[in-house]
């Protein structure tokens, strides 16, 4: 047990999918896993372990933002032995070529700061995905025919950003989308010798103002979860 996860040692698989929303973890586990078992619900942060095509996998919420994800990822790695961690979540598009419901597979994650900034100090560390996961996710997306974009994303510290100049520069430099967790996940994975990837569904668009209604979001996230699961066990 840890301060935030009540699972017993052995209850959590080496492969963990991490949506931000604990109820999305519940939905994904009940939809895609065989015999999902609830292994954590401390502070309402659900974690489920089950099987996907004969492979053991845990789907565990991370909460919103890099500080929250850092807590869960650190404990999953250090205490429970997680080796492959894949963020599955929503993001906002930052390019006109990216549409609602498209999937973004994050090769790199730009950020202003992360909880690891204190360790890096003056170093501008470049967080990036594990290539084997990235390659497998792209192959899975192509096989499914899912509209997919591969490239850099931006992990923001804030949801209500009031920096239109920063958004303009991100768009100018080809950043595909914005979310709030991947940069810290990639940094922690590098530190601990784990594999990490972020597979994201576009739920809104910063340039057009378009957004999926909340009731449509889960129905649009199935491709993302399947791509992540197939990549994990390729």
The residues annotated as belonging to the active site are 204
Compute the distance between CA of residue 73 and CA of residue 17 in angstroms, rounded to an integer: 11
Residue 181 in marked binding region = yes
Residue 220 in marked binding region = no
Residue 117 in marked binding region = no
Compute the distance between CA of residue 190 and CA of residue 184 in angstroms, rounded to an integer: 10
Nearest to 92 by CA among 197, 173, 211: 211
Residue with tokens 């929303």: 21
Residue 63 in marked binding region = no
Question: How many residues comprise the chain?
Answer: 234
Residue 179 in marked binding region = yes
Residue 172 in marked binding region = no
Residue 88 in marked binding region = yes
Stretch (H or E) spanning 22: helix 22-32
Q: Residue 135: is it exposed, middle or buried by C-beta count within 10 angstroms (0-12/13-18/19+)?
A: middle
Residue 56 in marked binding region = no
The sign of the dihedral angle between the CA atoms of 189, 16, 113, 170 is positive
Residue 9 in marked binding region = no
Residue 219 in marked binding region = no
Q: Where are the beta strands (DSSP E) in 53-93?
A: 55-60, 84-93
**Binding site membership for phosphate: which residues?**
20, 24, 43, 87-90
**Binding site membership for a purine D-ribonucleoside: which residues?**
4, 179-181, 203-204
**Binding site membership: which residues?**
4, 20, 24, 43, 87-90, 179-181, 203-204
């Amino acid at each position: 047990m840890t301060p935030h996860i009540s699972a017993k040692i052995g209850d959590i698989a080496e492969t963990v999918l991490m949506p931000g929303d604990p109820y999305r973890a519940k939905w994904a586990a009940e939809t895609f896993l065989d015999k999902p078992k609830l292994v954590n619900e401390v502070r309402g942060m659900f974690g489920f372990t089950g099987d996907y095509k004969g492979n053991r996998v845990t789907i565990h919420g991370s909460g919103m933002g890099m500080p929250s994800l850092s807590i869960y990822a650190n404990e999953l790695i250090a205490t429970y032995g997680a080796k492959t961690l894949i963020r599955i979540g929503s993001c906002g598009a930052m390019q006109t070529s990216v549409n609602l419901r498209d999937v973004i597979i994050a090769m790199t994650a730009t950020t202003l700061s992360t909880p690891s900034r204190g360790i890096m100090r003056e170093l501008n560390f470049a967080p990036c995905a594990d290539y084997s996961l990235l390659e497998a996710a792209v192959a899975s997306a192509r096989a499914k025919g899912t509209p997919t974009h591969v490239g850099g994303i931006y992990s923001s510290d804030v949801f209500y950003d009031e920096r239109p100049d920063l958004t303009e520069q991100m768009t100018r430099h080809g950043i595909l989308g914005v979310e709030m967790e991947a940069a810290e996940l990639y940094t922690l994975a590098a530190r601990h010798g784990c594999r990490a990837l972020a597979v994201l569904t576009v739920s809104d668009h910063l340039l057009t103002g378009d957004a999926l209604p909340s009731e449509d979001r889960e129905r649009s996230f199935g491709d993302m979860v399947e791509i992540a699961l197939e990549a994990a066990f390729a």
